[in-house]
């Protein structure tokens, strides 16, 4: 929630640059006027002074930040930049001096001789020593805040692009996984129909439940663990119908709490175990599944009998399903999961741990 609020605020600021500039200049006049008032005890002269000199501050800030730096300094045209910067300093400090003498001081001073414009323009030393520090202190603050704002916006944009890329990749992986999973399940149904099994209608019913989950609920970012386990149970029932009594399945579920998980993750691991283990076993196929979870952590283990095919052939046939599972875990649970695959003499074991936060 906090990250979404921060994202909305950054987007709001980035899309309304004029508002950030308005806030800066109003804030500048207010803060520096307060300091002046605390120093002199006079309210109106302080406000008039900074408001009257505002055009000079804007000229100095915008010419440097939006013209000189990007057009010349960033392109390493240092000679031209230096010349134009000196000219900008001269014009902005002269404008600041003229604004104070002709716009501000007549409102609260009567005991002074007003300088002519020529006198202001022909006294660069006074402009440099008195007005340059005053004007370019504000320019420095303006430049620093803009630099920091640009970094925040740039970092946010990169994060948005990174997330969009990850989501696009995740959608692509799921689009590959769905046909893969469906193809394997339809193969099971085809085997039963070939055998004219009376259990085929039940297979169709369970398959329809799996398809409903796969097509309509797996697009959600997270689902409850119980939904995922319910579909896994349907899938196991399909496999039991196919293999009959020779298939031994041990399914231990001690999960409690309301753990949320990315859809199809566990189901894909189970499907891989049956596809590349049980279906290749000559006799006595078996699968053992254990799951334990609370609201913060999931611990999932599955072990299946090892097929009689060669290691190279078996690895090659694992294909897209195994890769997609690992990649989805990396995208959805970065630094919050461990996935261990162990090959034993007569079995494969997969152990997955996921932390919700």
Domain boundaries in the chain? Answer: 2-158, 197-355
- Bridge-based pairing of strands 248-253 and 286-293 is parallel
Q: Pull the structure tokens for residue 217.
A: 């609920």
Q: Do the Cβ atoms of 149 and 65 come closer than 8 Å? A: no
The per-residue pLDDT for 101 is 86
The per-residue pLDDT for 316 is 47
Secondary structure element (H or E) that encloses residue 337, with its range: strand 337-343
Nearest CA-CA partner of 171 in 225, 211, 232, 221: 221
pTM, two decimal places? 0.53
Phi, psi angles (nearest 5°) of residue 39: -80, -40
The per-residue pLDDT for 299 is 94
- Domain 197-355: which CATH class? alpha beta
The per-residue pLDDT for 167 is 64
Distance in angstroms (rounded) separating the CA atoms of residues 52 and 285: 88
Q: Give the chain's residues under pLDDT 50.
A: 1-3, 5, 177, 310, 312, 316-317, 319
Helices and strands: H and E segment counts in the chain: 13, 7
The per-residue pLDDT for 65 is 92
Distance in angstroms (rounded) separating the CA atoms of residues 132 and 266: 67
CA atoms within 13 A on the CB side of 313: 7
The per-residue pLDDT for 47 is 85
What sign does the dihedral 210-211-212-216 (CA atoms) show? positive
What sign does the dihedral 221-223-228-231 (CA atoms) show? negative
Q: Do the Cβ atoms of 65 and 87 come closer than 8 Å? A: no
Phi, psi angles (nearest 5°) of residue 196: 55, 45
Residues 6+ away with beta carbon under 8 Å from 189: 200, 203, 204, 207
Secondary structure element (H or E) that encloses residue 293, with its range: strand 286-293
What sign does the dihedral 291-318-340-355 (CA atoms) show? negative
Distance in angstroms (rounded) separating the CA atoms of residues 302 and 250: 10
What sign does the dihedral 190-196-197-202 (CA atoms) show? positive
């Amino acid at each position: 929630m906090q990250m979404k609020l921060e994202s909305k605020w950054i987007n709001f600021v980035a899309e309304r640059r004029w508002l950030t500039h308005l806030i800066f200049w109003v804030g500048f006049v207010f803060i520096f006027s307060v300091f002046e008032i605390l120093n002199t005890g006079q309210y109106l002269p302080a406000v008039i002074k900074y408001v009257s000199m505002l055009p000079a501050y804007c000229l100095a800030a915008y010419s440097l930040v939006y013209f000189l730096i990007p057009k010349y300094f960033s392109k390493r045209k240092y000679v031209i930049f230096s010349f134009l910067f000196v000219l900008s300093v001269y014009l902005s400090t002269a404008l600041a001096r003229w604004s104070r003498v002709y716009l501000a001081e007549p409102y609260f001073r009567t005991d002074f001789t007003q300088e002519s414009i020529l006198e202001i323009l022909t006294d660069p030393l006074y402009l440099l020593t008195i007005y340059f520090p005053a004007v370019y202190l504000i320019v420095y603050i303006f430049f620093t805040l803009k630099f920091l704002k640009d970094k925040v916006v740039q970092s946010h944009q990169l994060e948005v692009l990174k997330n969009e890329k990850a989501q696009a990749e995740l959608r692509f992986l799921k689009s590959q996984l769905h046909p893969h999973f469906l193809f394997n399940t339809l193969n099971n149904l085809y085997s039963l129909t070939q055998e004219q099994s009376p259990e085929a209608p039940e297979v169709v019913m369970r398959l329809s439940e799996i398809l409903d989950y796969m097509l309509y609920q797996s697009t959600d970012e997270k689902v409850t663990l119980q939904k995922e386990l319910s579909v896994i149970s349907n899938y196991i029932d399909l496999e039991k119908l196919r293999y009959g009594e020779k298939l031994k399945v041990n399914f231990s579920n001690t999960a409690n709490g309301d753990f949320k998980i990315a859809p199809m993750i566990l189901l894909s691991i189970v499907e891989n175990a049956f596809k590349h283990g049980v279906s290749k076993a000559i006799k006595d196929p078996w699968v053992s599944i254990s799951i334990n979870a609370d609201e913060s952590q999931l611990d999932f283990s599955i072990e299946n009998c090892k097929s009689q095919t060669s290691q190279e052939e078996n690895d090659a046939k694992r294909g897209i399903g195994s890769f997609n599972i690992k990649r989805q875990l990396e995208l959805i649970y970065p630094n919050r999961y461990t996935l261990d695959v162990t090959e034993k003499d007569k079995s494969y074991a997969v152990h997955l741990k996921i932390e919700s936060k």
